[in-house]
Structures are given as structure tokens and as C-alpha cells.
């Protein structure tokens, strides 16, 4: 398969984090871009979702990722939060499908485990792992953007590891 470009997304309603990386191997990463999509609080839910969809479509068009990796909803303490985040995830997944870009989903625990070796790692530990893996002089800001890059790295490692393990080894060929 070769190098992959991955768009990682940390969904939300007020703020959606995004991060784009290139990865020629499961342990070689290059930061391309990261940031956040902000939606004004005074807008209706539908208007905010329309902004998220349009901006995700623009990100896909601009960066041409091979796939999109999105944080899955795993557990929420606040029921009022889970529904808007689920709606944002829906428009993100729909935007990827509209651009015929395959989407993958990872729980926060999967991302933390993959990047730090501990599924209940602190946010700062994940941010430092991202910075180290990308050979950046400091952590990515804001937090939502750093989380999105972490999701992209998690996908790169898991998908390339699966691809490499499914190939016959030279000894068995």
C-alpha cells in the first residue's frame, strides 16, 4: 500500500479538532496540518452541523487523505453532551462518504493505549507522545487538534500493522 495520508478528527459541536499526517510506515509520521473547526454558540444545531460538514468536506478536498479516522463515542457521563457529539460524528462520517473516503473509528481508550501503552493515560501523556512521534519541538495546541492527530497516528499504527501482518512473510512465500 505504501505511504498513507490520514485525516484524524476529534468530534464535537462547538469545536472539532482535526489533524493530517503522512505515514510511510507504522512508526514514521510527518505532521501536515492541524487545527479546529469552531461553530458559534448562537447558531442552531442544524447550522452548526452544516458548518462542520462544509469544513470537513473542505479539509478532505484540500488534503486528499486516503482515509479518515474519527474518535468513537465510547462513554459519556453527560447525556446532554452525547447527542450533539453523535450528531457531529454523523455529519463527519457522511462528509467522508460523500468524498468516497473510508472512515475508521477508535475509542479514546484505544488511542491512549496505542500511543502511551496505557488505556487510561492522561491527556498530557498523549500530547507528549504525539509530539515525540512527530519530532515536534512542543505539543500541538489546542487540545482538540492534538487529540485529532493522536487518532490519526493510532489509525496509522493499527492499519499498517494489520496490513504488514496479513502479508505472507518471505519465509512462507
Provide long-range contacts, Cβ within 8 A and 24+ apart, for 109-117: 109/74, 110/154, 110/158, 111/71, 111/147, 111/150, 111/151, 111/154, 114/153, 114/154, 114/157, 114/158, 115/150, 115/153, 115/154
Active site members: 10, 71, 144
The set of residues, in sequence order, having a beta carbon less than 8 Å from that of 78 and lying 6+ positions away, is none
Please give the grid coordinates belonging to residue 148. 485529532
Amino acid at each position: 500500500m505504501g505511504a498513507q495520508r490520514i485525516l484524524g478528527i476529534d468530534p464535537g459541536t462547538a469545536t472539532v479538532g482535526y489533524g493530517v499526517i503522512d505515514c510511510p510506515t507504522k512508526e514514521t509520521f510527518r505532521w501536515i496540518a492541524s487545527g479546529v473547526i469552531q461553530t458559534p454558540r448562537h447558531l442552531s444545531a442544524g447550522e452548526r452541523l452544516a458548518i462542520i460538514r462544509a469544513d470537513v468536506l473542505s479539509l478532505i478536498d484540500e488534503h486528499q487523505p486516503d482515509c479518515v479516522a474519527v474518535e468513537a463515542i465510547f462513554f459519556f457521563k453527560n447525556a446532554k453532551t452525547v447527542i450533539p457529539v453523535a450528531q457531529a460524528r454523523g455529519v463527519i462520517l457522511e462528509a467522508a462518504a460523500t468524498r468516497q473516503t473510508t472512515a475508521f473509528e477508535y475509542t479514546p481508550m484505544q488511542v491512549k493505549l496505542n500511543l502511551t501503552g496505557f488505556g487510561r493515560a492522561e491527556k498530557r501523556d498523549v500530547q507528549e507522545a504525539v509530539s515525540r512521534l512527530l519530532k515536534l519541538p512542543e505539543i500541538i495546541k489546542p487540545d482538540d487538534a492534538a487529540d485529532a492527530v493522536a487518532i490519526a497516528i493510532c489509525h496509522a499504527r493499527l492499519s499498517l500493522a494489520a496490513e504488514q501482518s496479513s502479508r505472507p512473510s518471505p519465509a512462507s512465500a
